[in-house]
Chains A and B, each alone.
Chain A
Amino acid sequence: GENVEQHPSTLSVQEGDSAVIKCTYSDSASNYFPWYKQELGKGPQLIIDIRSNVGEKKDQRIAVTLNKTAKHFSLHITETQPEDSAVYFCAASRGNDKIIFGKGTRLHILP
C-alpha cells in the first residue's frame, strides 16, 4: 500500500528564516499531495496542495514543489513567523482513494 515518509520529525528555525519539510511517497499512481498544519488541540488545517500535473505552487509565504520522477515533494515556508509554529503533515492520494499521511514535522520558530 501507499507509504509516505516525512523528514525531519522536528525542525527549529530562527524567526525570519526559511523552513523546508520533505516527503517521499511510494505509490506512483498518487496524483494529489496536500499539506496540513495542526495546532495544539485542534484538527489539521489544509494550507496548500499540489496536483501531479504541476511542479510547483506558491501561496504568499508558502510554496510546494513536486518531483514525480523521484516521488518526492516539499513544503517551503519563507520569512517564518511565531504563528508558523505547529505540526505539519504531508499526505498523498490517488483518485478515488484514501489520503495517506506522513508522521508529521514539529516546527519551532525561535525568537
Chain B
Amino acid sequence: NAGVMQNPRHLVRRRGQEARLRCSPMKGHSHVYWYRQLPEEGLKFMVYLQKENIIDESGMPKERFSAEFPKEGPSILRIQQVVRGDSAAYFCASSPLVGNTEAFFGQGTRLTVV
C-alpha cells in the first residue's frame, strides 16, 4: 500500500505565477489535510477536505489560495499570483476517517518563489 504521494517534490515559480501542488492520499483514505511549514517552524493548518467537500478552511488565506479534492484524482492546493512569502514546504496528510484516526503525511512539496 503506497503512502501519501505528493508532487512535485520541488517547485520553483516566479512572482505572479500560479503554483499547483498535488496530493494523492493513501488507498482507502477519504480525508485530506494540507499544512504549511516555514523553515525552523511548526506545521500550520490550512485546510481539511473530504472528497468533493471542504470541511474546514479556517487556516487558508482568503485570497489567492484554494483547495479541492475531487471525486476522482488527487487533491490540489492552488496558489495564484505567488509572492516570495509563499515560499515554504507544503505537506499533505490523509486519513481514512475523520478526527481521531491516524493521519499519515507525504514527503511535502517545497515551493520556492523567485
Residues of chain A touching chain B, judged by Cβ–Cβ distance below 8 Å, are 1, 31-32, 34, 36, 42-46, 49, 51, 89, 93-104
Interface string of B66-87 (1 = CB under 8 A from A): 0000000000000000000000
Closest to B41 in A: A103
Q: List B78-101 residues whose CB lies under 8 Å from chain A.
A: 91, 93, 98-101
CA distance in complex: A64, B7 (Å): 33
Q: How many interface residues does B have (CB within 8 Å)?
A: 27
CA distance in complex: A31, B106 (Å): 24
The 9 lowest CB-CB distance pairs between A and B, nearest first, are A32-B100, A95-B99, A43-B105, A103-B42, A101-B43, A96-B98, A43-B107, A44-B105, A96-B99
What are the residues of chain A within 8 A of B48 when measuring CB–CB?
A: 97-98
Question: CB < 8 Å: which of A1, A31, A42, A46 contacts B100?
Answer: A31
CA distance in complex: A65, B104 (Å): 22
CA distance in complex: A89, B45 (Å): 13
With A1-B58, A32-B99, A43-B91 already in contact, the answer to whether A98 and B104 are too (CB < 8 A) is: no
What are the residues of chain A within 8 A of B93 when measuring CB–CB?
A: 44, 99
11 new A-B contacts at CB < 8 Å, known A46-B104, A89-B42, A101-B45: A32-B100, A34-B102, A43-B105, A43-B107, A44-B105, A45-B105, A94-B99, A98-B59, A99-B33, A101-B44, A103-B42
- Report whether B107 and A100 are in contact in the complex, using a CB–CB cutoff of 8 Å: no
- Report whether B42 and A97 are in contact in the complex, using a CB–CB cutoff of 8 Å: no
Q: B11 in the interface, Cβ–Cβ < 8 Å? A: no
- Report whether B105 and A98 are in contact in the complex, using a CB–CB cutoff of 8 Å: no
- Report whether A97 and B105 are in contact in the complex, using a CB–CB cutoff of 8 Å: no
Question: CB < 8 Å: which of A1, A43, A102 contacts B42?
Answer: A102
Question: CB < 8 Å: which of B6, B41, B42, B56 contacts A98?
Answer: B56
With A42-B107, A45-B105, A98-B56 already in contact, the answer to whether A93 and B43 are too (CB < 8 A) is: no
What are the residues of chain A within 8 A of B113 when measuring CB–CB?
A: none
With A96-B98, A101-B42, A102-B42 already in contact, the answer to whether A46 and B103 are too (CB < 8 A) is: yes
